[in-house]
Structure 1
Amino acid sequence: MAQSLLFTVKRSAPEFVRPSKPTPHEIKLLSDIDDQEGLRFQIPVIQFYKYDPNMAGKDPVDIIRKASAKTLVFYYPFAGRLREGPGRKLMVDCTGEGVLFIEADADVSLKEFGDALQPPFPCLDELLFDVPGSSEVLNCPLLVIQVTRLKCGGFIFALRLNHTMSDAAGLVQFMSALGEISCGMNEPSILPVWHRELLNSRDPPRVTCTHREYEQVPDTKGTIIPLDDMAHRSFFFGPTEVAKIRALLPPHQQKQSNFEILTACLWRCRTIALQPDTDEEVRIICIVNARGKFNPPLPNGYYGNAFAFPVAVTTAGKLMENPLGYALELVKKAKSDVTQEYMHSVADLMVIKGRPHFTVVRSYLVFDVTRAGFGDVEFGWGKAVYGGPAKGGVGAIPGVASFYIPFKNAKGEEGLVIPLCLPAQAMEKFVKELDSVLKNNINQPTIGGPKPSFIISSL
């Protein structure tokens, strides 16, 4: 990705796209999983599409604008606005005011972005414009959509979602519906289901599980990552890189999933890079989709948040001094904690504790979106060349989160691209430590040398 790429984007005035037919004007409560503090932010997604000669003469802006109005008939809560009630309870006022839609043209072709389309993207703020006054949680549009035509005939679809409304699975469900209607269908193949009460607290609420992810940890040493001088980079992990990390583990641990092994490795490298005191607690938070944990399962079409933030906690000293397998066991244990009872317990905790934010002090959060299906969303021009999160480190506390995004590199290798966001000095240390790991020299970090070849984008 050529991060020095500069181009000009011309935008029309933002407009509101409203449902194409009358929709119910009602109040719909979010669930007690939806409205926790850690989800009260806007999350950006971006999709790149090639020119398709079969669509010559057809305008993606016009097609997607009209399809948005039709899709909102089914997903009409997205056309409303969030309000806050007693106990910080969030609800959607289904006003039908609409979503923000931006039409744009860029004097750049898809080819100029380079072979490796991945975060961080140049000029992201131009491809997903932050309309003044639109980015608050309450009383603002719940979706912002920008469609940017490229001079090659391709286009970029960018979207910003108020995260309290949906998780990745729910957002892809909406985007897929928008794609189906763009392609001529009259209604989505999967109809949306609200039923947020399924993830509400019990009466009376009772916390039955341990939730260290919501501990209120004071930041006594100023360890929350500063926002200035941040470095954004993406790292590619294909079969070769994963095999090298896997080889560092004893035979009985080598069968663990790529997600677990990579998470253990990145957590350890990141901790070494940030250099906390050895007695400080550090945390890894693995987002777990809980849709399959319910019996009966959540209904097909449910598009609310249905995931948990299970956490593993240890000291920085133990994490850095022990072999990689130590971190791996902690990651496995955290993931296995999530059950139906665990989700009910989280909902109860939200009500009892006032909807707290998950712990961000010395935390690293990872989210695997490889199965979410962003890249499969079509508007008539075929599948996305890249589809998924627009950057890493998003959220109320930038720098805490990384996404695992499916990716094919310039050699045609299938793998993952993982964006990270760290202070510039810590990023340099992270690069050296990861390079050391991939040279199977995990306990002897390299001191200098060039940036390793597996880093394929930087800003």
Structure 2
Amino acid sequence: MLVIVLSMRALQVTLFKCGGFSLGLYMNHAVVDGVAALKFLNNWCSIARGEGLILPPSPDRSPLRARSPPSPTFHHPEFVKLSDMPANSSFTTTDAVTAQFTGTSAPSKHVFQIFPFTAKELESLKQQALSDPSISKCSTFEVIVAHIWQARSKSVEKASDQSSKLFFAVDFRSKIDPPLPSNYAGNAIVAPLVELQHGDLILNSLSFCVRKIQQAMESVTNDYVRSSIDWWEIYRGVPAIMDGIIAAAWWKIPFEMLDFGWGKPIYAGPVVNDRTEFILLLSNGKHDGGMNVYLALLPEEMAKFETNIKVPSPK
């Protein structure tokens, strides 16, 4: 039996095998993203099975060098300059920092819960979004994230004019010119920002939120990525996640298929998490078109969320 445990502090994977034998791996997200981590692990598994490398990695970072001189051409509200961060705070701030930089480490009063979605429920959400003529198509990711964002916002007390932020990772390997090689072994993601007023978010339709997410995805072009790299070269910084959430599509990264020669794991996902701003979309292990959603809320918010997250019956 194999269990894969994923941690949220960085890209951490720990592998356990019955009989007391264990393997541990810790990766910094600044070095690799989920796609590169999976390719590394697939190579490792293949070598462990005696089959050699599947795809030799390319660690060359030069394609992602900043321009000379660095020249951001986009406004980047998704970042906070390090110089603008409060004293004694960081990306993983604590409850002690100022109200503007609310802590992202989960206080003990938060509760974590997994919500399963069937393929039928996901399809129902898609049809609901597509009933709006302004939406010609939508992906499973777009519609489930829109649904979760609205349901979570309806469960959290905020002033109607208060900001509500959504971030999600976009793999830009194929979006830049020239594209990165398929065996690129590094971090090739950006996290565009969707920001709405709380009142607008909860009062508008599901399709409205889907379209906002699609617009953010469409904004990730070669020019946007180059501008992001240049911004970081000049300012350094962290994601501006205050008053926001980050949706991560881990179900698209099949850690549950890894096989070191002991067979595939019975579980792939987090066991312990202290990051309240992360919403994880996880494989349900069944490969039937469904998924699991893993997130944290305060107890009174979670009670509301359990109702708000239910997929409405088709009319």
Q: TM-score range by the shorter chain?
A: 0.7 to 0.9
Structure 2 match to 1:428: 303
Given the alignment of the two structures, is residue 384 of structure 1 paired with residue 261 of structure 2, yes or no?
no
Structure 2 match to 1:404: 281
Distance 1:269 1:284 in 2: 13
For 1:204, the aligned partner's letter is P
> In the comparison of the two structures, how many residue pairs are matched?
297
Displacement of 1:246 in angstroms is 2.8
SS in 1 for 2:196: strand
Alignment of 1:116-127 (within 5 A): none
Distance 1:393 1:295 in 2: 37
Q: Match for 2:137 among 242, 245, 255?
A: 255
Structure 1 272/254 Cα, relative in aligned 2: closer, same or farther at 3 Å?
farther
8 Å Cα contact 1:277-1:317 kept in structure 2: yes
Structure 1 357/315 Cα, relative in aligned 2: closer, same or farther at 3 Å?
same
Structure 1 224/310 Cα, relative in aligned 2: closer, same or farther at 3 Å?
same
For 1:309, the aligned partner's letter is A
Structure 2 match to 1:323: 205
Distance 1:400 1:358 in 2: 12
**TM-score, structure 1 length as denominator?**
0.58
Distance 1:362 1:432 in 2: 22
Structure 2 match to 1:335: 217
Q: Deviation digits for residues 56-106 of structure 1, max 9, x if unmatched?
A: xxxxxxxxxxxxxxxxxxxxxxxxxxxxxxxxxxxxxxxxxxxxxxxxxxx
Q: Match for 2:43 among 146, 157, 177?
A: 177
Structure 1 401/147 Cα, relative in aligned 2: closer, same or farther at 3 Å?
closer
8 Å Cα contact 1:392-1:421 kept in structure 2: no
**TM-score, structure 2 length as denominator?**
0.83
Structure 1 358/222 Cα, relative in aligned 2: closer, same or farther at 3 Å?
closer
SS in 1 for 2:252: coil
Displacement of 1:212 in angstroms is 1.8
Distance 1:392 1:263 in 2: 22
Distance 1:210 1:391 in 2: 37
Of structures 1 and 2, the one with the larger relative CO (CA 8 A, separation 6+) is 2
Gaps of 5+ in 1: 1-47, 50-109, 111-120, 129-134, 138-142, 442-459
Structure 1 match to 2:244: 363
Q: Match for 2:27 among 161, 164, 173?
A: 161
Structure 1 281/176 Cα, relative in aligned 2: closer, same or farther at 3 Å?
same
Q: Match for 2:57 among 178, 185, 192?
A: 192
Gaps of 5+ in 2: 86-97
Report percent identity of matched pairs.
24
Q: Deviation digits for residues 137-176 of structure 1, max 9, x if unmatched?
A: 9xxxxx977543326x9x8765332222100011111111
Q: Deviation digits for residues 163-195 of structure 1, max 9, x if unmatched?
A: 22100011111111110110113x412112111
SS in 2 for 1:365: strand
SS in 2 for 1:313: strand
Q: Match for 1:228 among 108, 122, 135?
A: 108
8 Å Cα contact 2:32-2:185 kept in structure 1: yes
Displacement of 1:345 in angstroms is 0.9
Q: Deviation digits for residues 370-400 of structure 1, max 9, x if unmatched?
A: 332322321113333333x425866xxx211
Structure 1 match to 2:88: none
